[in-house]
Structure 1
Amino acid sequence: METLASFQAIVAEVKNREKKTVVVAAAEDHDVLIATVQAKQEGLANFLYVGAEEQIRQLAREHQLELAEKEIVHEPDMQAAGKKAIDLVKQGRGQVLMKGKVSTGQILGMVLKDEDLKQKVDNPFLSHVAIFEWQGSLKIFSDAALNIAPDCDQKRKIALNALHVARKLGINAPKMAFISAVEKVNPKMPSSVDAEQLAALDWEGAIAGGPLAFDGAMFAEAYAIKGVPSPVEGKADILIFPNIETGNVFYKTLTWMMKRDMAGIIVGAAIPFILTSRADSARVKFLSIATTLYLTK
């Protein structure tokens, strides 16, 4: 499989596939509407919006967006809109779920507790995987939005989900770095202890290293200066962060300070699930739609 090196390549691939329908839960969000209308106009997917119909249409008018009459299912209650969106996917009205204005905790709880969806996946483990473009390639990091303080086994599952995404993107022998603030184990720094243990596991074709600080993981020059041997060699494709604070700060730094193109996706759910931050731009939401559709069979 050819390695995808850009979001442009992802969007081009999705355009050539049969269109799926994305069901948006509580769609009263202007950036969500902008992103979904763009995705429809570019031929990526069709959309079904669940929420307060007049509010959705008012936002569409304010931003000069056109929504067809049959694209909105009226449900003004936020939580009920989330439940209705999930039911529509279960009924086959759509294939992909997308979070709108409903809170992350509410919609995640609904997906995880739904008895029908539980039967589709044994012991599901959900994690947030972020993708960004860097120097002619796509880089992956996790977890920036879902798992707060993962233990060592949870970090292993986060890494497995990230590897799944990497291989879907055509990165067949990814280099994966377990991040800490140091390159040598320090018993007073639990992230370094976990990183050493995780790097020693068999990752089935992936190349793992840790503990590694961010610079030594991502930049060959920094790796060479530090002189600490690692199979990652400053060329990581995947960064596994020790906790949500580290991953989230990195995510927000890339999006807000560096203005990088980003996509955030949920991996491990029983149904394809687009979950973005309320503060994410329409561009990030558009790319998250495209990437989730690309990763969906």
Structure 2
Amino acid sequence: MIVGLVQQQNQADTAKNLKRLERNIRQCAEQKAELVVLPELHNYLYFCQTEDTEQFNLAEPIPGPSTEYFGALARELNIVLVTSLFERRAPGIYHNTAVVLERDGSIAGKYRKMHIPDDPAYYEKFYFTPGDLGFNPIETSVGKLGVLVCWDQWYPEAARLMALAGADMLIYPTAIGWELTDPADEQQRQLDAWMISQRGHAVANGLPVVAVNRVGHEADPSGQTQGAQFWGVSFAAGPQGEILTKASSKLEENLMIEVDLAHSENVRRIWPFFRDRRLDSYDELTKRYRD
């Protein structure tokens, strides 16, 4: 299967972001992509740098305008499309939601981000209610997609539960970057840890991983920080953690990669981690901490 990864830099004008997303999706389809993955919250600037109730006006229902827009593109181009939207579920209830659109433009399924960060310049707990749809792969014409979102990347439990539910691939729409006051060696450690963690999920579960990040600098509207420098480096890894493709840390890019889903079974035959799991000894995992 050919997979397209869209690494894009956003601006304040949502209409322009949508047009550029459309252009990039079309370019991927022209290169025979059957599955295209977009970054986290791709329609807008990353508004979570501040706590501002006006930003809730960006949210929309699902189905809604964005699923109509991207669904029409998926139908025209005959692709499966992974989008990432700010969902207005009800007054006062908003989610960070990935929506997968099928080749016919219909909604194949959605995933609401489960792990919600709350760090300087990443004030997501102010905006997003934790997900309540569980860790369930989305059935599509290109396979069962284990779609998770950004902060979920750091949690092996999320990857494992998707794999145990039959996911053929793990997909992470992402918006992650550096605090510019961090020294260069600390920035490199953060980036390395991000890649190592996800490659580890690929190895531990015998599945390919696709992570698609935004790129570029976005100013802090409050002026309290130097803003976020999204580090790009969108990548795909195979089921042994091998890097299949990787974008730069500075440029907008559309990456194309061929993923062989059948390869996962061969890897699991030589590394049968699922066979050797000690189910009788994992009860303590449901505790916050073992005092």
Whether TM exceeds 0.5 here: the answer is no
Query: In which range does the TM-score fall when normalised by the shorter chain?
Result: under 0.3
TM-score (ref. length: structure 1): 0.26
Larger radius of gyration: 1
Greater fraction of residues in helix: 1
Higher relative contact order (CA 8 A, sep 6+): 1
TM-score (norm 2): 0.26
Q: Which has the higher strand share?
A: 2
